[in-house]
Structure 1
Amino acid sequence: MSLVVKGLTKDFSNQRAIDDVSFAVKENKVIGFLGPNGAGKSTSMKIIAGFLKPTKGSVSVQGLDIRQHNRDVKRLIGYLPENNPLYLDMYVRESLRFTADIYQLHQKQQRIDKVIDMVGLGDETRKKIKELSKGYKQRLGIAQAILHDPKLLILDEPTAGLDPNQLQDIRSLIKALGKEKIVVFSTHIMQEVEAVCDEIIFINKGKIVGDFTLSDLAKNYDNKRLEEVFRYLTQ
């Protein structure tokens, strides 16, 4: 499995949101995509997921260019956007069946049951989505993103709104998923990055300003705390 991002640039009117973003991931691992608000994280993730066209540049997943093979590449990608769009009047299982039908999954009931167990939604499946807490809505968003067993998983702030117990569960899930998929996720919680990431990419003002493994980060910055490195690279 591979993800190759080359020279991504995105302009909105007179504003450049991302500027010549490039990186490559050649094996299954968890990538933390970090930066301050407005740095270009969500825009980059939307382009990688195929939901936004770049002004310039390319994205390829497993050797397939996302613009030339859009539908095929989207089958390889699971995406949880920052705002986690959900049909609030649907029941939890109903929404997962709806997603399974979109992907034309075989043995969909078995897969739905497995994913419900993976994300810890078992006690909530008889509720309507609007009755769920924010944390359980996030779990459902993750469930929808992984339902079709994608090779590349893009999670934009997946742990927003989770309590400490839920945080630990989802961190463990993300780390486990990183053993069989490429996982790219953004967060502002530095402890989360240290707990689950194999590599960290820093973006600031639309440009990549750092790309390190956690061990290299410690060597390059004299074992400084991650919060200090974040501030240094993004101020």
Structure 2
Amino acid sequence: MAHPITETLQELDNAIRQRFDPLGFFEGPNGSFATGRVPAVAPQAHLCWRYAGLDEAGIEAAENSAGRYIPEPYKALLRHMNGARFLGVSLLGEIGGSVDRSGIGIGQPVSIRYQNIIGRPDYIPNGHLGIGAINGEWFSQGHLYLTTTGEVELYNARCDLIGKRWPSLVAFFNEEMNRRFTLYEPNGSKKSGAKHIPGDTEDWEQLAEAAKAKLRGDGFIKKIMNRLTPQ
């Protein structure tokens, strides 16, 4: 019996294709596709990229890459699609062999090693699985984690703040992807004033700018100290 997330993702595939195919699309093998061409951004830029799903060997490889147990909802997602980039939401996948399954031109997802092995803050609970990210307007970003109880939590990428929580992966797709459809004009451009990151995240852009400024300042001080230190 198929997992409930599979039906949700099939409906999402259909909705995305119906909405954005008129702007331009191309298809690869095993269900992979890119749709919503926006040449004003770049000649081959598209709003949505969906990568071919994994077989059981691929699922095992993804779990090894993540270095932690992948709960069944995300395993079911990876069987359906090996990650994706949908309207500013990036979903992580297994990069080994993914180009072969999706074909030339489709590419591959961001590796599931990120947020799990690489770039994982100490404050993220050990049982949480990093599954993706949502980009802000300029500098901010939220990281998505699937909890051991099946919830999806959106953490600030730079500090221990949770901006939003969904009761399940199905609820995340039903709510957030429907919201994201409303952010775009018929020509594929993003509407003015669109809220990029959902939830209690109004100050995340300012937090990101402050963190970036501090990083620049720390780098400058380090450079000066290195010059003052006798060789």
Give TM-score scaled by structure 2 length.
0.28
More strand by share: 1
Structure scoring higher RCO (CA < 8 A, sep ≥ 6) equals 1
Query: Which has the greater radius of gyration?
Result: 2
TM-score, scaled to structure 1: 0.28
